[in-house]
Structure 1
Amino acid sequence: MLPKRSAPLVFIGPKPKRKRKMIPLYEKVKILNMLREGMKFSAVARSYGMSESTIRSFKKEEAKIRSTVSLNGSQTLKRVISNRNKYIVRMESALVRWITQCREKNIPLNTVAMMEKARELYQELAGECRQRDKEDTTNDDRQQGESTSSEEPMEFLASKGWFDRFRKRYQLKSVSPHWESASADVEAASKYPETFKALVQEKGYKPEQVFNMDQTGLFWKKMPTRMFLKEEAGAPGFKGQNDWVVLIMCGNAAGFLMKPALIYKSANPRSLKNKDKSLLPVFWMHNSKVSMSKARVTEWFFESFIPQAKLYLSEKGLDFNICLTMDKASCHPVDLFYEGVHIEILPPNIQPLDQGLVQTFKALYTRNIMQHIVNGRSSDGTIPVGELWKKFNIATALQVIQGCLEELKPETVNACWKKLWPECVHEGEGLSTEEIQRSAVDKAVNLAERLGGARFYNMTPDDLNDLLGTKSDPMAVIDISDLTKPASEEAEQESDPSQEDGEDKDLSFERLSVMFKMAKDLQGMVDAWDPDMVRALQFKNAIDAAMQTYETLLTTVKKLPQRLHITQDKPTVSSEETIEYPEFYGLLPLEAPDEEALNEEL
């Protein structure tokens, strides 16, 4: 009798489900582009490790996939959006980019703030839609037989259910309410001055040895919409400037304010090319995203703060024994160390420089910009404000920043320590930050009245105060078109040198010739129009002396091309001869200039 075989093991229960793999839409677009270029389904499937049927399913939904990506532009979206209001889709895309940019700038967010921002973005998009429909209706009245139709924006409430679905759609897993512990922060800030007082007594710090560092964002080329004339604001393609820089300010309890650090988008902007950046009124740093990071803070600490602190304390005859206070931000490295420097992390809402000094600086900056516009139009009242604003570059902004820093007196900086270290504050000396800020805003309003025009008449302080409260929400004034721009378009714009404030051509032979011609023309006008012969002669001599350096440079450029081969892109240097180039930053023409024509022109 044959032995009985054991029955096979049978697992009772449902089989484990295979985990579904979701592919982002931007990856599907890449696959569809490969198919459009002529690749076969099987080849694409092998390159991505997928089945051919999956690739064919992407092809069937190509229209929906491309439509969703064109409306959205997000690289995290994984599902095709169908039968949804296109304005909600655009709003969600803008909201995702706003959240991303706020995180890059270390701005705390919570659920309530994001829902409120969603409502603001949707209202702005709906307003644009109604305005566009109104213009289309006007055009239809002019052109009979044509009609347009658009989707009317629906009411949007930004409910809790919508926000939960929004988080799932865009894979926002780390949205945490950072501001819900505000009451605990206030209580901690009220008790901290006693702890800080004990630290000062234990270490023996003097007011000159205790510093505070704070960072703030500044829209260096941003003004309220009313600051532009009606015809300029209504022009096609007009958009207020939103250029953003980050300032790192640092001052001590005695009222000394260090040279601030500035983070700009490029290392060498056109207006500062060939300039010695060590002589600027700020410590120059650059970051493509213009945001704070641990690397930037470390660079500021060792290359700006330490040298300035050593020089200041040596002039005061004090030991290098420093307490540097700062807030608890994610961009502040915890491993900063330098002998003689103690870093103290402060609780929220108690930073000295944040007690009105930053807002006062912004108010002064806004007032000085208005003064710059008034001064520019005073010479010729026919110059539009838009033309003056186009010429306002980062070099001009640095001059305005320098003027604002000079207006911040030591007494004003010292008064900001009243909340953290009241014993070191000198009562009754100088104006408070509130008084300076109020005076600066009122002065800016008066300057707007001097300009006149529909956009400047009846200007109120509220129109300017909107710009001064952007520290906690700098993205509030960014144009909606910037937030809804697809990622591919933004990358192309960043890579396009014509869209950047980047490199420019240097002094060439042609440009030097133009400079000399203009100088001669100016001398001729003064000679013909000024009845005072002595004054005219002094002016002409001053012009000749100022152009002497460029005349030597022009002579050098005229001689150099004769030693070059016209047909060669680069000069050839033999082993027996060494070509000496002139010490200037210029483009060398490959062809020899016409000296006779130049002499006639000059």
Structure 2
Amino acid sequence: MPPMKKKVEKEGGKKKEMITVEVKKEIIEKHERGVRVADIARFYNKSTSTICTILKKREEIRELDAVKGVMRVSKQRPHVLEDVEKLLLVWINEKQLAGDTVTENLICKKAKGLYANLVSKLPGTSTENEEGFKASRGWFDNFKRRSGVHNIVRHREAVSSDAKAAEAFAAEFQKLMVSERYLPQQVFNCDETGLFWKKMPKRTYITAEEIAMPGHKPMNDRLTLLLCANASGDFKVKPLLVYHSENPRAFKKCKVQKSQLNVMWRSNSKAWVTRILFVDWINEVFGPAVKRYLLENNLPLKVLLVMDNAPAHPPGLEDDLLEEFDFIKVKFFPPNATSLLQPMDQQVISNFKKLYTKALFQRCFKVTEGTYLTLREFWKNHFHIMSCLKIIDKAWDGVTKKTLNSAWRKLWSDCVFGHDSEGFSHEQEPPVVDEIVSLGKTIGLKVNEDDI
């Protein structure tokens, strides 16, 4: 059972179980997808009356704008702090994807900077207001609890300890592969990444024009992708995509059947992968796909899924698997060593995003060369989420078997084919970047390697 509940002390020693705002929204979404109240109650180990109460308050709950993990939204809590923590989560994610160690000191310093910047833009702001937020130790501990972020360390010397933890885990992992006789085809890694699917390089005229316009900024439209593949690199699992809209306008226009998409489509207000969505993906996509793959290739029905300990990845995941997938075992990376070891972080996601940008520029070139549309007209009126899905499919398909296999060299070097894998990812980067820059200039965009 996912650990979505927390216990709050009450008088007399009794404990009352509470459900987070985030999970209440998941319960509503699950019910709206057709799941029965009784099944939801059983999944959460709650009474049907509790679930019905949540469903009755669905409109009120939908309006709550809470950071992930929050039980209640306090009216006394300044709205600007919610904005600070949302921006902070995006910043932390970007730093970790880049392989940087994120410490308490860095987070508090960034939080104070974000707060000062946001408050300075409010009407009637004074210097006293700007200094009202101290980013204290207490705030930091509460932020970790509210947001569910685990991979944060308190001390600057963490870099060396992270390296030691990564080295010890890799040694233990390789022994496990030998003792349990896992084949590269049977070992998988998955990881989430945010994608600003309509973003253009900073210095292009389209970006400058959007920044100058008031209201919604389409380039800030984000979705989350969960990508997964095995260590041999010959099998990619259908990705999970989480967007803020269940039925975008383009779906109706294109008469989309979600079951036929190249991704498992799910939605919530913040476009985040949650525990419920992750377990759904495991049971509905990952389990059936890997079982079919192993049987078709006459391989033993045995799978190991290795991943980080993100809030969306429940520690008791194996308990949530359907009986037919009891051959799947799960192993978690140690905290603060994920960026050093996780295969998806070793150029795979980076390579995917470069290929996405390349395919996007190719699409822009094709449209502006073969139609009467200008790039600005195409970008504003014709590039929608269905276009994005086609490009995601093309980019994920373009991540090669060799790239996927080479990404395991730090964690499981024995499974990497050939002897040139160490320099492979770096060797392949410049041509892709050069192609993107060349395409950008061809369609009239001011762009260089640093922008990419």
Bin for the TM-score computed over the shorter chain: 0.5 to 0.7
2:200–2:206: 8 Å Cα contact kept in structure 1?
no
Partner of residue 326, structure 2:
339
- Deviation per CA, 1:299-339: give whole Å up to 9, x if none: 01111111110111112111211111111222212222332
2: CA distance between counterparts of 1:370 and 1:260? 23
Normalising to structure 2: TM-score of the pair?
A: 0.68
Aligned ranges 1:196-595 → 2 under 5 Å = 196-229=173-206, 232-233=209-210, 236-237=213-214, 239-255=217-233, 256-273=235-252, 274-337=255-318, 338-347=325-334, 348=338, 349-380=340-371, 383-385=374-376, 387-428=378-419, 432-452=424-444, 456-457=445-446, 459-464=447-452
Task: Report the structure, 1 or 2, having the larger strand content.
Answer: 2
Cα distance change of structure 1 residues 366 and 166 upon mapping to structure 2, 3 Å threshold: farther
2: CA distance between counterparts of 1:304 and 1:165? 41
Partner of residue 558, structure 1:
none
Q: Secondary structure at the match of 1:461?
A: coil
1:343 alignment partner AA:
V
Partner of residue 36, structure 1:
none
Partner of residue 580, structure 1:
none
2: CA distance between counterparts of 1:360 and 1:393? 23
Instruction: Tell me the CA shift for residue 461 of structure 1.
Output: 1.6
1:91–1:122: 8 Å Cα contact kept in structure 2?
no
Instruction: Tell me the CA shift for residue 195 of structure 1.
Output: 0.9
2: CA distance between counterparts of 1:390 and 1:326? 39
Instruction: Tell me the CA shift for residue 118 of structure 1.
Output: 3.5
- Deviation per CA, 1:507-528: give whole Å up to 9, x if none: xxxxxxxxxxxxxxxxxxxxxx
1:417–1:424: 8 Å Cα contact kept in structure 2?
yes
1:237 alignment partner AA:
P
Instruction: Tell me the CA shift for residue 217 of structure 1.
Output: 1.4
Q: Secondary structure at the match of 1:259?
A: strand
2: CA distance between counterparts of 1:244 and 1:287? 12
2:342–2:411: 8 Å Cα contact kept in structure 1?
yes
Normalising to structure 1: TM-score of the pair?
A: 0.52
1:78 alignment partner AA:
Q
Q: What is the aligned-residue RMSD (CA, Å)?
A: 3.8
1:248–1:262: 8 Å Cα contact kept in structure 2?
yes
Instruction: Tell me the CA shift for residue 192 of structure 1.
Output: 1.7
Q: Size of the alignment, in residue pairs?
A: 355
Give aligned-pair identity as a percent: 29
Q: Which stretch shows the higher mean deviation, 220-229 or 117-126?
A: 117-126
Instruction: Tell me the CA shift for residue 122 of structure 1.
Output: 4.0
Q: Secondary structure at the match of 2:388?
A: helix
Instruction: Tell me the CA shift for residue 286 of structure 1.
Output: 2.2
Q: Secondary structure at the match of 1:296?
A: helix
2:202–2:208: 8 Å Cα contact kept in structure 1?
no
Q: Secondary structure at the match of 2:396?
A: helix
2: CA distance between counterparts of 1:296 and 1:386? 36
2: CA distance between counterparts of 1:122 and 1:166? 19
1:178 to 143, 152, 158: 152
1:219–1:245: 8 Å Cα contact kept in structure 2?
yes
Partner of residue 84, structure 2:
95
Gaps spanning 5+ residues in structure 1: where? 1-73, 80-88, 130-149, 465-602
2:188–2:230: 8 Å Cα contact kept in structure 1?
yes
Larger radius of gyration: 1
Aligned ranges 1:123-138 → 2 under 5 Å = 123=117
2:259 alignment partner AA:
S
Cα distance change of structure 1 residues 123 and 433 upon mapping to structure 2, 3 Å threshold: same
1:326–1:346: 8 Å Cα contact kept in structure 2?
yes
Partner of residue 526, structure 1:
none
Gaps spanning 5+ residues in structure 2: where? 1-71, 97-101, 319-324
Q: Secondary structure at the match of 2:247?
A: coil
Q: Secondary structure at the match of 1:261?
A: strand
1:164 alignment partner AA:
S
1: CA distance between counterparts of 2:162 and 2:313? 19
Instruction: Tell me the CA shift for residue 346 of structure 1.
Output: 1.8
Instruction: Tell me the CA shift for residue 434 of structure 1.
Output: 3.0
- Deviation per CA, 1:86-133: give whole Å up to 9, x if none: xxx99656314435778999x87734224224425645876x79xxxx
Q: Secondary structure at the match of 1:462?
A: coil
2: CA distance between counterparts of 1:403 and 1:387? 20
Q: Does 1:194 align with 2:171?
A: yes
2: CA distance between counterparts of 1:251 and 1:177? 23
Q: Which stretch shows the higher mean deviation, 434-443 or 207-216?
A: 434-443
Instruction: Tell me the CA shift for residue 166 of structure 1.
Output: 9.9
1:116 alignment partner AA:
K
1:119 to 107, 113, 120: 113
Cα distance change of structure 1 residues 414 and 77 upon mapping to structure 2, 3 Å threshold: same
Q: Secondary structure at the match of 1:260?
A: strand
Instruction: Tell me the CA shift for residue 165 of structure 1.
Output: 10
Cα distance change of structure 1 residues 421 and 436 upon mapping to structure 2, 3 Å threshold: same
Cα distance change of structure 1 residues 76 and 110 upon mapping to structure 2, 3 Å threshold: farther
1: CA distance between counterparts of 2:440 and 2:228? 32
